[in-house]
Structure 1
Amino acid sequence: MTALDQAPRTRTTARTTVPRRPGPLADTDRGILSVSDTRRRSVRVTARLTHTVLLVSLILVGLGPILWLAKSAITPTQDTLREPLALWPNGVDWSNLAEAWTRTDIDKFFLNTVIVAVGVWVVQVVVATTAGYALSVLRPRYGKIVSGLVLATLFVPSIVLLVPLYLTIVQPPLLGQSLINTFWAVWLPAGANAFNVLLVTRFFDSLPREVFEAARMDGAGPYRLFWSIVLPMSKPIIGVVSVFAVIGAWKDFLWPMLVLKNPDLQPLSVRLPQLQQFIELDVFLAALAISTVIPIVLFIIFQRLFLNGAGMGGAVKG
């Protein structure tokens, strides 16, 4: 073969190996400002200044109240009333924290809050996962009707259900004994959360059906399928439901106040506002600061447990 016959092939090979220069449409990371705009000093300075102002504004709006509470917790009452935004004009009073811890019995009410939050978390996770498994994986004949009824409950205002729910707790069916002043009065109603059920159902709908069919062919029954296959694949959605459950139980005020009338059983969200009229302002703010810091620290410690987890982790073994 002559050199002329090989030349086109050589040119073709060289043409395919040379990388193409990206055109103007190949830049997938392009934002509001183009590359030519960002090269201009005035545009670049304006964009950075705008980003800085927005970041500072978000910090002030999001962290401003928490930072002010932390500052006021160690500030005397008179300084807080006279100059609420000043940074300790007459010094720092660290004794507010110790007095708030001893006078308000935060440790006892914090334990009550943890008990309420853990119970609500367990009930909501159990109800949401089992209901979502039944509606999405088992798929009963009237599953769509049940899903529609569950969805319809989201349109009913919670305040409308307050009186019937309270009467049910006072005279629960089949038990014959009131649940008032028991933690069950907070735990059991928390399980009736239609949002969590629909959220978990939609997540189960996205799971691969091939894994379920393979497990059934290997002889796995409904309970084994739920425990060994579905739950290990559901770590992300369980983490989301866990965060919603813990945060909702921690900040809930109205329902625990109605069903937990005994002060020894009340959580922080209920007991601290009742103690406000009996203690000084600086001690009360210190108690609020302590009750705010505790859940933040716990969430930072256990955030991986709540949020991490691979969707297919543990479902299939090689």
Structure 2
Amino acid sequence: MSLFVKDTQEPTVRSRSLRHNLFRRMQDNTDASERTLISPLTLQRPVSRTLYWLVFILLALFTVVSLGPVYWMFSGGLKTSSEIFQTPPTFWPVHAQWSNYVQAWQVMGLLLYFTNTLLLALGAVILQILVSATAAYALSKLQPAGKDVIQFCFFCTLMVPPVAYLVPQFVNISNLPFINVSLVNSWSGVLLPEAANAFNILILKSFFDGIPAELSEAARLDGANSWQLFLRIIIPLSRPALAVVTIFTVVATWKDFLWPLLVLSDSNVQSLMVALYHESQPNAGLPFNYFIAGLVMASVPPILLFLLFQRQIIRGINLTGLKG
């Protein structure tokens, strides 16, 4: 039965066959995009193989160097405060203090801040997917008047540093125009200003542009309207791009610091990064090794998120590009 009209109305054989062929074509394109850049035949050449391993060794060295601060942080969470500042530094703790993590979790009350940050990340994902996907769909498939101008304005906003509009943005949420409501010390004040993300809109629009127009036309032959086309065709085909946007949104929300610091002064609604900043102040009286242990625990979720979904991230980036 048709997905878009009454149950008694059968889709045409031609439109069903066309949709099936187009779905299969997009799957073939997805498989082709995951092929390696260097063919096995090319690697059989001595020069190509030498260059390949040279690049590999350089990347491995840069990776080790970039992981140095991360290792210092993780090992510092197992040291005493005096050993952290010891000169010369120890490569590994003399006596590993695994209890530092338990003490840091209890003393700093990290359960509350982890929960707050998770809820903020969930709200950010819902808002950004809702706003970005619908805006990208309108620009890509509905072809509104002035589409090129709107897209150019989106690109222009990417050129403006976020700090430049920090003050006017804070003034707006302090006293919302027309309704005179303050969003300070509420999660709405953190989430709403970031709901429309130009980068996510352009990423999704670029992906939507790659969906064949014939697929939309076949759905319209079955009586689908624009909203049904968006939910039944565009969204299911865009899962790789939506996965990338979701992961980027979660990581960005998790590590966001400056804006939540300005908006959330109540400790009961603060995010994890803001709470760690307040705990690092000298008047907080927190041992430095507990603070480092707290940083380690705050770093684990985004690292695990990337390790678990790195294939989806790379695949989505390969399938998505910014086209004019």
- TM-score tier after normalising by the smaller chain length: 0.7 to 0.9
1:96 pairs, out of 87, 95, 100, with: 100
Residue 206 of structure 1 is matched in structure 2 by 210
Q: Structure 1, residues 56-98: CA drift from partner, whole Å, max 9, x if none?
A: 4233223222222111101111111114641346311122111
Residue 8 of structure 2 is matched in structure 1 by none
Instruction: Please say which structure displays the higher CA radius of gyration.
Output: 1
Residue 290 of structure 2 is matched in structure 1 by 283
Return the letter of the residue paired with 1:80.
I
Q: Secondary structure at the match of 1:125?
A: helix
Change over 3 Å in CA distance of 1:79–1:295 after alignment to 2? same
Give, in whole Å, the separation in 2 of the partners of 1:133 and 1:37. Answer: 43
2:189 pairs, out of 175, 185, 189, with: 185
1:236 pairs, out of 231, 234, 240, with: 240
- How far 1:299 moved relative to its partner? 4.4
- How far 1:123 moved relative to its partner? 1.1
Spell out the pairing of 1:216-227 with structure 2 (5 A cutoff).
216-227=220-231
Residue 61 of structure 2 is matched in structure 1 by 57
- RMSD of Structure 2 on Structure 1 (CA): 2.8
- The two structures have a TM-score, normalised by structure 2, of 0.77
- How far 1:303 moved relative to its partner? 5.7
Change over 3 Å in CA distance of 1:128–1:86 after alignment to 2? same
Residue 149 of structure 1 is matched in structure 2 by 153
Residue 176 of structure 2 is matched in structure 1 by 172
- Aligned residues between the structures: 277
Q: Do the aligned partners of 1:203 and 1:237 also contact (CA within 8 Å) in 2?
A: yes
- How far 1:194 moved relative to its partner? 1.1
Residue 21 of structure 1 is matched in structure 2 by none
Residue 4 of structure 1 is matched in structure 2 by none
- How far 1:298 moved relative to its partner? 4.3
1:118 pairs, out of 119, 122, 126, with: 122
Spell out the pairing of 1:288-303 with structure 2 (5 A cutoff).
288-301=295-308
Change over 3 Å in CA distance of 1:47–1:242 after alignment to 2? closer
Give, in whole Å, the separation in 1 of the partners of 2:47 and 2:166. Answer: 60
Change over 3 Å in CA distance of 1:37–1:230 after alignment to 2? closer
2:46 pairs, out of 35, 38, 47, with: 35
Q: Do the aligned partners of 2:185 and 2:265 also contact (CA within 8 Å) in 1?
A: yes
- The two structures have a TM-score, normalised by structure 1, of 0.78
Give, in whole Å, the separation in 2 of the partners of 1:193 and 1:233. Answer: 21
Q: Do the aligned partners of 2:175 and 2:182 also contact (CA within 8 Å) in 1?
A: yes
Q: Structure 1, residues 205-233: CA drift from partner, whole Å, max 9, x if none?
A: 11100000011111000110111111001
Residue 200 of structure 2 is matched in structure 1 by 196
Seq. identity, %: 36
Residue 14 of structure 1 is matched in structure 2 by none
Return the letter of the residue paired with 1:168.
N
Q: Secondary structure at the match of 2:42?
A: coil
Q: Secondary structure at the match of 2:145?
A: coil
Return the letter of the residue paired with 2:84.
T
Q: Structure 1, residues 154-203: CA drift from partner, whole Å, max 9, x if none?
A: 22222221111111111113433111111111111111211111111111
Q: Secondary structure at the match of 2:183?
A: coil
Q: Do the aligned partners of 1:76 and 1:93 also contact (CA within 8 Å) in 2?
A: yes
Structure 1 stretch displaced more, 114-123 or 152-161: 152-161
Change over 3 Å in CA distance of 1:229–1:36 after alignment to 2? closer
- How far 1:268 moved relative to its partner? 1.1
Return the letter of the residue paired with 1:35.
P
Give, in whole Å, the separation in 2 of the partners of 1:228 and 1:292. Answer: 37
Return the letter of the residue paired with 1:30.
T
Q: Structure 1, residues 74-132: CA drift from partner, whole Å, max 9, x if none?
A: 11111111146413463111221111010001111111111111111111111110000
Give, in whole Å, the separation in 2 of the partners of 1:89 and 1:269. Answer: 26
Q: Do the aligned partners of 1:124 and 1:193 also contact (CA within 8 Å) in 2?
A: yes
- How far 1:145 moved relative to its partner? 2.0
Question: Which ranges of structure 1 fall in alignment gaps of 5 or more residues?
Answer: 1-26, 39-43, 313-318
Give, in whole Å, the separation in 2 of the partners of 1:295 and 1:251. Answer: 9
Q: Do the aligned partners of 1:79 and 1:88 also contact (CA within 8 Å) in 2?
A: no
Return the letter of the residue paired with 1:150.
F
